[in-house]
Amino acid sequence: MNVELKNIHKRFGKTYANKGINLSIPSGAIQGILGENGAGKSTLMKILSGFIQADSGGEIVLDGKPVVMQSPADAIRFGVGMLHQDPLDFPPMKLLDNFLLGMPGKLFLNRKEAAQDFNRLANEYGFNFDPESYVDSLTVGERQQLEIMRLLFLGARVFIFDEPTTGISAAQKTKLFDTLQSFPKQAITTIFVSHKLEDVERLCDRVAVLRAGELVGEFTPPYETKKFVSTMFGKEITLGERQPAKTGDVVLSLKNVFLEDTRVRIDGLNVNIRAGEVIGLAGLEGSGQGMFIRACAGLVRPVGGKIFLKGKNLTGKSYYAFKREGVNFLPAARLEEGLLPGLSLLDHFILAEKPRGVFIDKAYGQRLAEERIKSFNIRGTPASMVESLSGGNQQRAELALLQTPLSLVLLEHPTRGLDIESMIYIWSKLKDRCKQDGAALIFISSDLEELLQYSDRLLVFFSGKVSEPIDASGTNVEQLGQLIGGKGWPQKGDIHA
C-alpha cells in the first residue's frame, strides 16, 4: 500500500511536534524513520495510526485516496496497524482471545474457526504459539509476534513499528527482521521507527530523518553513519568553557552490580563517583539508564553486587535508608512522581522540610516558600497549586524540594522541555547546591549538548551494555551519537541484546 503524508502539522501548545512534514512511501517499502527523543517521530506515527489527529491543512493519502482517521480502529479499517513500543495487549487473557480482539462486527465468536486461522498464520510466519496459553507467559518479543499476527489477521497493509528492537533477544530480532523482509513480497509497507542506527542500516531501503518536528533529510543506501548522526543531532555543537571538576572523596561506589527488569539487563557494573563530580547518563530511553539511576536511589534492588554510599553498604536497603544518607532523586514524570497535584507550593516546601513539632508554623512556611520561589525563580505564589504551573516552573519547583543533607543528587531529564535560559539557570543552581554540600550528581538526558556541557564523565547505555566512564572533554557529539546508536562499541563480553 502506498502511503503519502502531505503537509502534516501538529502543535501542542506553542511547540510544534510536527511541522509541515511531507513523506511519500511506495508500496512494499521498508521505510526507516530516525530521530532523537522528542524529534516528532512518535507524534507522526500516532497521526498515521489514528491515535491523534493532525492539525488542519494536512492530508494522509493511502493508495491515492485521501483518508480521515479518527481512531486506531479507523486506521486498521484502512489497513494501517501500529505496534507500540510497549505492546498494547491484555496480559491476563488467552492468546486466542487477544488475537480475536478488534475483530469487527460479529457478536458471537467461532473459537474453533479462529483457532484454525491462528495456527495457519503462526505456521506461515514460523511463530511458535499455543493459542490457549496466556499472554503474560510471553516475552516482549513473542508479544510483538502475536501483535503482528493480530494485525495481519485484521488486514493491515501498512505496519508501523515503534522501537521494535528494544528489549527483545538477538534471536527474536533476527526473527522479526526475517518477518519484515517477507512483507515487501506481499506489498505490505513497513515503517520502522528507531534510534538504533545499526538496525535501520541493516533493514531499511530508505530512511527519513526528523529533527525538532521537521523532516530534515531522506537517504537511500549505501548509508553513511556519520551523515545520519549529523542530520539527527543538527549542526556542529560548540562547547562552552567547561570547568574541570574538583573532586573529593568517593560518594557512590557500585561493585559488580547486576540489574534486571523485563526489558534489559545490566551485568557486573563497577563505578566510583566522587563528591563534586557530575556524571551524565546517555542512551536511548529504556537502555538501562533509568534502572541504573533508580538503583542508585534505592528504588530498584540489584540482583547481585553491592552499593556503597560514602563507604556505607546500602545494598538491599530501603529507599528511606538511601534518603537518610542524603540521596535525592527527582524523577522525570513531574506531575506523576515528583509533585503532588492538588497541593500548593507552600504545602510542598513544608513537606520537604523536617517537621518542626506537630503543628505547621504557617508564618514560617510562608517565609520559606517566598524565599524558595524567589531563589529558584518560580513563577507562582506560595498558594499556587503545582498543577497550574508551567512545565519549567514545575521543574524548578521540584529542584527547590531538594532536601538536606545532600550527598548524591539523581536527576532524570532535569531540563527536558525547557528553553535554553531556564536550562542554564537550573544548571547553575544545581552546581552551586552540589558544591555547597559536597554532593555528587548523576543525571539522565537525551540532549547530547547538555550531556557534554555539564558532565565531567559520561556513561553510555545501549541495550543494557554500559560503557566505561568517558571523559566528557575528550569526546564529541558524533562519537556519543554513534555509541548511543550502538556503533563503535568494543566487541567483548557481556552483550545482551
Contacts with other proteins, residue ranges (CB under 8 A): 319-320, 323, 329, 331, 335-343, 347, 350-352, 355, 357-360, 362, 401, 403
Q: What backbone torsions phi and psi does residue 449 show, to the nearest 5 degrees? A: -60, -45
- Gap between the Cα atoms of 406 and 395, Å rounded: 19
What is the nearest approach in angstroms of other proteins to the Cβ of residue 343? 6
Rank residues 218 and 337 by Cβ distance to other proteins and give the closer one: 337
Is the Cβ of residue 231 or residue 344 nearer to other proteins in the bound state? 344
Residue 433 · residue 330 · CB < 8 Å: no
Whole-number Cα distances in Å, 41 to 13, 178, 208, 318, 376: 18, 24, 10, 38, 33
Shortest distance (Å) from residue 388 CB to other proteins: 11
Give 13 or 357: the residue with its C-beta nearer to other proteins. 357
The least distance separating other proteins from the CB of residue 348, rounded to whole angstroms, comes to 8
Using DSSP's 3-state secondary structure scheme, residue 209 falls into strand
Q: Which amino acid is at 209?
A: V
The DSSP output letter for 338 is: I
Please state, as a whole number, how many other Cβ atoms lie within 10 Å of the Cβ of residue 313.
12
Q: Which residues pair with 32 in a beta bridge?
A: 192, 207
Contacts of residue 71, Cβ cutoff 8 Å, sequence gap at least 6: 50, 51
Q: Least distance from C-beta 352 to other proteins, angstroms?
A: 6
Nearest CB to other proteins, comparing residues 169 and 366? 366
Q: Which residues pair with 83 in a beta bridge?
A: 161
> Would you say 63 or 353 has its CB closer to other proteins?
353
In whole angstroms, the minimum distance from the beta carbon of 270 to other proteins comes to 27
Longest dimension (CA), the chain: 74
Find the shortest distance in angstroms from Cβ 324 to other proteins.
9
C-beta neighbour count of 148 within 10 angstroms: 23
In the complex, the smallest distance separating the C-beta of residue 337 from other proteins, rounded to whole angstroms, is: 5
Q: Which is nearer to other proteins, 157 or 372 (CB)?
A: 372
Q: Which is nearer to other proteins, 129 or 376 (CB)?
A: 376
Please spell the DSSP secondary structure of 61-108, one letter per residue.
Answer: EETTEEE---SHHHHHHTTEEEE-SS----TTSBHHHHHHTT--S-SS
Between 192 and 443, name the residue whose CB sits nearer to other proteins.
Answer: 443
Least Å distance, CB 378 to other proteins, is: 17
Taking the complex as a whole, how short is the minimal distance between the CB of residue 338 and other proteins, in angstroms? 6
DSSP 146-202: HHHHHHHHTT-SEEEEESTTTT--HHHHHHHHHHHHHTGGGT-EEEEE-S-HHHHHH
- The H or E element spanning position 10 is strand 3-12
Q: How far is the CB of 339 from other proteins (least distance, A)?
A: 6
**Rounded CA separation 115/205 (Å):** 35
Alpha carbon 377 to chain centroid distance?
A: 28
274 or 372: CB nearest other proteins: 372
CB closer to other proteins, 362 vs 435: 362
Nearer to other proteins, 204 or 350 (CB): 350
Q: How far apart are CA 304 and CA 307, in angstroms?
A: 10
Q: In the bound complex, what is the minimum distance in angstroms from residue 379's beta carbon to other proteins?
A: 19
